[in-house]
Chains A and B, each alone.
Chain A
Amino acid sequence: MDPLTELDRRDEDLLRPPPPVRRILVDEQPTIVQPPPGGAPVAGTSGIAAAPGVRRAEPSPAPKVERMRAEAVSIAYGEKLAVDQVTIPVRQGEVLALIGPSGCGKTTLLRSFNRLVELTPTATRGGRITLDGEDIDRIEVTDLRRRVSMVFQQPNPFPMSVFDNVAYALREQGSRRPRRDSLQEPVADALLRAGLWDEVGSTLDHPALRLSGGQQQRLCIARALAARPEVLLLDEPCSALDPRSTQVIEELILRLREEVAVVIVTHNMQQALRIADHVGFMYLGELVEYGPAEQVFGSPREQRTREYVAGAFG
């Protein structure tokens, strides 16, 4: 099809009222892969993949394995619909970034993957979420959360030593057993994978809350990795950190995607561009667009994505 005709058709599509229930067919190839007509991207409409100073990470060579999948998931707080019929896969070997304006439901969606959303008394969920093909509602919740772990926006080490913070994730419910020596190795391993071992390896008995903000956040990642989860959920993990710590954590995330499926919620468009392999753009609870990062940022299919992505880059 001729590119100009194509554009016309898309505009007509946008003028039509949206269908009542939207579904993104996630495994479908993007319908438009060529750049917009006219060669150079039109300012304010698209073409931010070439934003200056933002370097895309190389895709991971690791094979991609689907670990989780949300199917037609809707979540409401009381009467208010926060997530509307979202279908999205989560794969090991890649980073999935959820982007969108505040209140678009991306954090709610993230918190439904480990059923943390259930802590809100008014929350109700429809649809199905699977972990390795198994419905997460059928998995014991403490078990699920060991397999799908989470890192929060604010660093939140527990008021105990560095060692105990990581060991806490490995111990049975609150008990001090198993013995410390048997935990030595897995704790060291988790700290190593979180890139923190070199800094805290000799001071494992120091209080975790004395670490710097960036170190605290990496300790939280180590803690989340300790139980060898299949999926790692990150809720704006860098928003409370300085640029240097942010860079360290981004590099860490890129390394981790090979061994664990990573989902990150972020407000920072550059960050999504730097580290994401796939991007889901959410708006008012809907998953408006899902696709490879270069496509969502470079040539978004949807007008709303284009406006958000362009606006976010100024």
Chain B
Amino acid sequence: MSATAQRAPALPARTATAPRDSVRAWPLRDRIGYFCAWSAGLALIAIAGSIVVYMAFRGAQYFDLSLLFESPNAEIDQSASGGFKDPLIGTAMLLVMSTAMAAPLGVAIAVWLTEYGRPAGLARAVESAIEIVAGTPSIVLAMFGLILFQEWFGFLTFDAEGSTLGRSFIAASAMMSLIALPLVVGATREALNAIPRHVREASYALGKTKAATIRRVLLPAARPGIGTGAALGMGRVAGDTAIVVVLLGSTLQIVNGTDGGIDGLFRGTGSTLTSYVYLNSPAGEGLAPEKAYFAAFVLMVLVIILNFVVTRLARGRKPLWTR
């Protein structure tokens, strides 16, 4: 009789009596690690939860829907200082304008990198450039943008009786688009790389050119990825303050950049929810903390919605093809 034959019946009995998941049976070191992992997770939930709860509490405390529809006024008397209609519109304008700039550019860069990418040296240089843009603090982008729009693109900015300030919605959106750009490029590249080679070849095998394949097969397949990147970028744009303060100015109201008209709106200055919160909080001029709280709450809800969109786009997306 062999040893294995004797041991064989004992095996199920032992696993049945000793529960596999009993932490008490673990070595001390493992138990400490296990405890740390648990508490780190719980701490994160606690932090996220307290932010949301506190902001919701403050938001509810100063809840006043009329603030959303009133323009801000520079008044010490808080009953006359208005709401944040202009910052809300400013945020929306920045989101739309910067996404309109970042999305096509980012998709084009991603397509070039994944589908062409030659010469290889140039592709590597483009990748490094994206990483540099992604790693640059937004205040640095803001200062760079200020120089750019004062020196060369003054005609796109607010015109203060002949002197160029380098500030406008266009200037702020252009620099904001650089914040969103790496996210769009990254998500689009990931989506394109997820398309198996044989799908491209199937299009070529029908006598299609590379351009037709990209336009009619690859980009439609990458659409959810592009959407994810754009929504991620919007979340970052909505939350950025430095570029707004430097390039959009600190006028709470939207001021037309010319004598009027739609081009004046784009060349005009204004504010966003972030700059409104900053200017009204105790950190800024501290005039209306309760309005700042409510504006911050609205901003948080906006960003949470954007993140929710990202999760919805990413979730349950199984590969369309087998490799």
Interface residues of A (CB under 8 A from B): 114, 116, 119, 141-146, 149-150, 152-156, 158-160, 168-169, 173-174, 209, 220, 223-224, 227, 240
Q: Which of B198, B205, B207, B323 has the most CB of A within 10 A?
A: B205
12 examples of A-B residue contacts, CB within 8 angstroms: A154-B196, A154-B198, A155-B321, A155-B322, A159-B221, A159-B320, A169-B206, A174-B209, A174-B212, A209-B320, A224-B205, A240-B322
The interface bits of chain B over 199-227 (1 if a CB of A lies within 8 angstroms of the residue's CB, else 0) are: 10111111111011101110011000000
Q: With A209-B320, A240-B322 as known contacts, state yes or no: A156 contacts B202, CB within 8 Å.
A: yes
Count chain B residues whose beta carbon lies closer than 8 angstroms to a beta carbon of A. Answer: 24
A223 near B321 (CB under 8 angstroms)? no
A154 near B323 (CB under 8 angstroms)? yes
Q: Closest residue of chain B to A114, judged by CB?
A: B205
Complex CA–CA separation, A114 to B323 (angstroms): 21
Q: With A174-B212, A174-B215, A174-B216 as known contacts, state yes or no: A146 contacts B322, CB within 8 Å.
A: no
A119 near B206 (CB under 8 angstroms)? no
A224 near B206 (CB under 8 angstroms)? yes
Q: Which residues of A contact B217 (CB under 8 A)?
A: 158-159
Q: Which residues of B contact A145 (CB under 8 A)?
A: 204-207
Complex CA–CA separation, A169 to B207 (angstroms): 8
Q: With A149-B206, A223-B206, A227-B207 as known contacts, state yes or no: A159 contacts B220, CB within 8 Å.
A: yes
Q: With A156-B321, A168-B216, A240-B322 as known contacts, state yes or no: A150 contacts B211, CB within 8 Å.
A: no
Q: Which residues of A contact B196 (CB under 8 A)?
A: 154, 156
A154 near B321 (CB under 8 angstroms)? yes
A156 near B216 (CB under 8 angstroms)? no
* Leading 7 A-B pairs by shortest Cβ distance: A174-B212, A146-B207, A145-B207, A142-B207, A150-B205, A173-B212, A159-B221
Within 39-76 of B, Cβ neighbours of A (below 8 Å) are at: none
Question: Taking the nearest CB of chain B, how far is it from the CB of A231, in angstroms?
Answer: 12
Complex CA–CA separation, A240 to B321 (angstroms): 11
The interface bits of chain B over 211-249 (1 if a CB of A lies within 8 angstroms of the residue's CB, else 0) are: 111011100110000000000000000000000000000
Question: Taking the nearest CB of chain A, how far is it from the CB of B202, in angstroms?
Answer: 5
Q: Closest residue of chain A to B202, judged by CB?
A: A156
Q: Which residues of B contact A209 (CB under 8 A)?
A: 320
Q: With A159-B220, A209-B320 as known contacts, state yes or no: A119 contacts B207, CB within 8 Å.
A: no
Complex CA–CA separation, A220 to B202 (angstroms): 9
A153 near B198 (CB under 8 angstroms)? yes
A158 near B199 (CB under 8 angstroms)? yes
Q: Closest residue of chain B to A121, judged by CB?
A: B118
Q: Which of these, A141, A156, A224, A227, contacts B198 with CB under 8 Å?
A: A156
Complex CA–CA separation, A142 to B322 (angstroms): 26
